[in-house]
A and B are shown apart, each in its own frame.
Chain A
């Protein structure tokens, strides 16, 4: 491993990973492992488990909206026999709070940064592990205190009931509502633990990507997946401390009476908290300063992964590699100055709203550029409709809907009407479920051979995609109409209000779609666990892909590569003449790829422009 290779760019990895010995026994190999691939798999299984929990919570929410105050089938009588299996309004607030918490903090962020970040970063940049393997292991193990905190909050304290946004005063004073007591403190603690985990991950990723790239792997030769993860890590590192600080302030408010977030003179449950002087708006600024960038933390890695997978599936280089990077950077930097669009109706100075509005409008631009680039990548490609392609296209079409409905949100006067209605719920489910999870499904299918050395089942995968896509659209698209009709979020029983009475059938339709979508995930789990043991064995490069991870054995051994790789060109060299292959691995230098000419328009479908050797 100590062979020094000549580097075409003179670039050498600055930081060698700490020499860590190959794992000995079962315990160090599979449980407290410092190997990034094992940690990725640990993250994968943990987040999939949490996906079941979050999905079950969502189905319970949908049950209440479709059949309000009716006994929940199967689990109802068992969970709350006192209420004859009914969901109480207190329990309902806990349900949607925990659904959001679990999905955001325990599924989407860790599955992207944790699973794919861990698996792909060292493999794609040609390192033999992360810069800080032990920190990496800790970042996984810090998920568990969070899960325990959330679980205790749920099981022993009645569950937090202030929404995942934890707006004061509801979340800040123990007597504000059932669920604002110990449950809320435990919830804040859980979020802080997740924050620790993310922070350790992001420091590790930044260090690894900056310092441990293989010789020749310049920044503009990094696969877009790595760019997505890199920018995400930067976002995390800068935004997360603000949430952590805010969380601590809320904890001291609750436990020590510091009153950062509540003013004096409140009358809650006929009890006057004697001191005050705080301001609930402060929390909203701190919270959204993290949580708006967090939206991109939940999206940018997928954007990167989709770029690489789509490019491989249509056998074409990604259209506009650099514009893709610049648009990701633009999304990230604009992402820091648009948090105020969550607060257009909050009582913040309305003049400030205008600045936030312009910035928010502009963030649609890089997203549009990316969409056009992906579409142009498909144009003129060779498309094979396998599971990965389908999920990529699913991502693309859902992302377009979610992105376009974001423009309504950015327009303040329209947002005032839509704020806190189901239109918002539609928007972020299209982005976070529709886009992110389809990207994740594609990613699991695509990198499964690298994780386990076996292929996943295509038929199961396609059926899973089909049912999920139908279910997702059936669940989330009608939410736009609910929002148009003014149905607010977080209502246990919207039909109490005259103007919403007629929405019951629409909600029932959505619930049926949600049940379909939820059941479809069983196929995913069957597919994963079956293929792990019985799937056909995969070679090193089952997709004929170009990036570095496919030069390593499947699954890669401890230390990843047979010998340290050297990189000669960019990541998506498809459609080239390389013997009888149409792709060029990043480590191959035999074939000079044809020079792309500016006159070459996207209309060229014929291969008459090939100028290669």
Chain B
């Protein structure tokens, strides 16, 4: 019966490794186009993931194989007594130092990636200078505020700002930055395709930058519990060419400031009246 149990315990690591190996083929891996991130930074993050996966897979297979082998031998052991040993100092040193070095390497290896990702000093300058939108999360929708064409995003809402709900347009091929905030409770800005996640904290304005490298419509979801409707904060990020993006902004301007007579109402002179309407 002991052998049966050994096989039982052998089965699980084998099943785990096989299912992980075939995950990309059956679509169990990262979302969208062949599990490839839609941003260069995302591709680097995936690279780090696969590196860690490799390390952990080797450790996992190794420890499980040794464990099952030890069990197999142990269940065969017909000796009167087991081996008497209290341990081995050399072995302890070896298996402390080797994982220690690997872990330290992994820790140091990812520092640059993290700095590029989140430390503001390392953000692309162009993106920092001109945030393209302010993203406000609220129960249970996403609101976007763009500056008027040719203007810069101001911390306070401006009369000629453009607004949209649950649909964020961004140009691809260049780094863009958004200002993230929350109006009520805590939310989290999660763009799985771009491997972006940042909590929106009430009371804080958090800059987030990303650079999409291909066109597409990507899901934007909320990753931090924000109440009963948490699951239905459904929005899209539409990544398009610079020309399409400018077109979109133009259309948005026209829609928003159309006064019913076929004219565009908003200009610098009558922006005050628009502001009071809001």
Contact = CB atoms under 8 A, between A and B. Distances in A.
Nearest to A92: B228
B73 to A, nearest CB: 7
A488 B74 contact: no
A156 B91 CA distance: 58
Interface string B188-210: 10101101111111111010000
Nearest to B227: A177
Given A314-B74, A490-B225, A607-B80, A396 B67 contact: yes
Contacts of A594: 84
A491 B184 contact: no
Contacts of A10: none
A373 B87 contact: yes
B111 A316 contact: no
A535 interface: no
Given A169-B202, A378-B67, A383-B74, A362 B103 contact: yes
B106 interface: yes
Interface stretch (A11-19, A142-150, A260-268, A444-452): A260-268
Given A93-B227, A393-B71, A375 B63 contact: yes
Contacts of A314: 74, 82
B149 interface: no
A488 B87 CA distance: 44
A594 B17 CA distance: 42
Interface in B169-200: 183-186, 188, 190, 192-193, 195-200
A302 B40 CA distance: 43
A170 B201 CA distance: 11
Contact of B84 (A397, A486, A609): A609
Nearest to B94: A372
A181 to B, nearest CB: 12
A317 interface: yes
Nearest to A609: B84
Nearest to B1: A385
A602 B95 CA distance: 13
A414 B60 contact: no
Contacts, number: 363
B15 to A, nearest CB: 8
Interface stretch (B24-32, B125-133, B249-257): B24-32
A347 B199 contact: yes
B202 A262 contact: yes
A250 to B, nearest CB: 14
A371 B224 CA distance: 33
A189 B204 CA distance: 29
A402 to B, nearest CB: 11
A67 interface: no
Interface string A597-613: 01011101111011000
A408 B138 CA distance: 30
A162 B110 contact: no
Nearest to A311: B82
B29 A498 contact: no
B203 A279 contact: yes
B219 to A, nearest CB: 5
Contacts of A379: 66, 70, 73-74, 83
Nearest to A603: B83
A396 B111 CA distance: 32
Contacts of B150: none
A414 B45 CA distance: 6
B118 A353 contact: yes
Contacts of B197: 345, 416-417, 419-420
A337 to B, nearest CB: 14
Interface residues on B, range: 35 or more
Contacts of A411: 48-49, 52, 106, 110
B117 interface: yes
Contact of B2 (A319, A347, A351, A383): A383
A76 interface: no
Contacts of A605: 73, 77, 79, 83
Interface string A382-418: 1111000010010011001100110110111110110
A382 B234 CA distance: 57
Contacts of B73: 379-380, 605
A377 B45 CA distance: 38
Contacts of B31: 485-486, 499
Contacts of A317: 84-86
A378 B20 CA distance: 28
Interface residues of A, number: 126
Given A347-B204, A362-B103, A93 B225 contact: yes
A545 to B, nearest CB: 14
A400 B227 contact: no
Contacts of B75: 383-385
A27 B258 CA distance: 82
A170 B185 contact: yes
Contacts of B103: 361-362, 364-365, 407
A397 B86 contact: no
A178 interface: yes
Contacts of A600: 85, 88
B165 interface: no
Contact of A267 (B20, B184, B196): B184
Contacts of B63: 371-372, 375, 400
B56 interface: yes
A249 interface: no
Contacts of A494: 231
Contacts of B45: 413-414, 416-417
B14 interface: no
Given A320-B87, A383-B77, A416-B45, A486 B82 contact: no
Nearest to A265: B203
A589 interface: no
Interface in B219-262: 219, 221-232, 234
A217 B234 CA distance: 62
A378 B74 contact: yes
Given A265-B203, A266-B183, A354-B114, 13 more contacts: A317-B84, A320-B87, A323-B87, A362-B103, A365-B96, A382-B79, A383-B2, A416-B196, A417-B195, A419-B197, A420-B224, A494-B231, A605-B83
14 contacts: A89-B229, A89-B230, A177-B227, A323-B92, A345-B198, A350-B117, A361-B106, A382-B77, A383-B74, A385-B1, A397-B13, A417-B195, A497-B234, A604-B83
9 closest residue pairs by CB, A with B:
A263-B203, A383-B74, A486-B192, A177-B227, A320-B87, A380-B83, A350-B118, A491-B231, A575-B84
Interface of B: 1-2, 5, 8-9, 12-13, 15-16, 19-20, 23, 27-32, 44-45, 48-49, 52-53, 55-56, 59-60, 63-64, 66-67, 70-71, 73-75, 77, 79-92, 95-96, 99-100, 103-104, 106-107, 110-111, 113-114, 117-119, 138-139, 183-186, 188, 190, 192-193, 195-204, 206, 219, 221-232, 234
Interface of A: 88-90, 92-93, 161-163, 167-170, 176-180, 262-268, 276, 278-281, 314-323, 345-347, 350-351, 353-354, 357-358, 361-362, 364-365, 368-369, 371-373, 375-376, 378-385, 390, 393, 396-397, 400-401, 404-405, 407-408, 410-414, 416-417, 419-421, 466, 473, 477, 480-481, 484-486, 488-494, 496-499, 502, 506, 574-577, 582, 593-594, 596, 598, 600-602, 604-607, 609-610
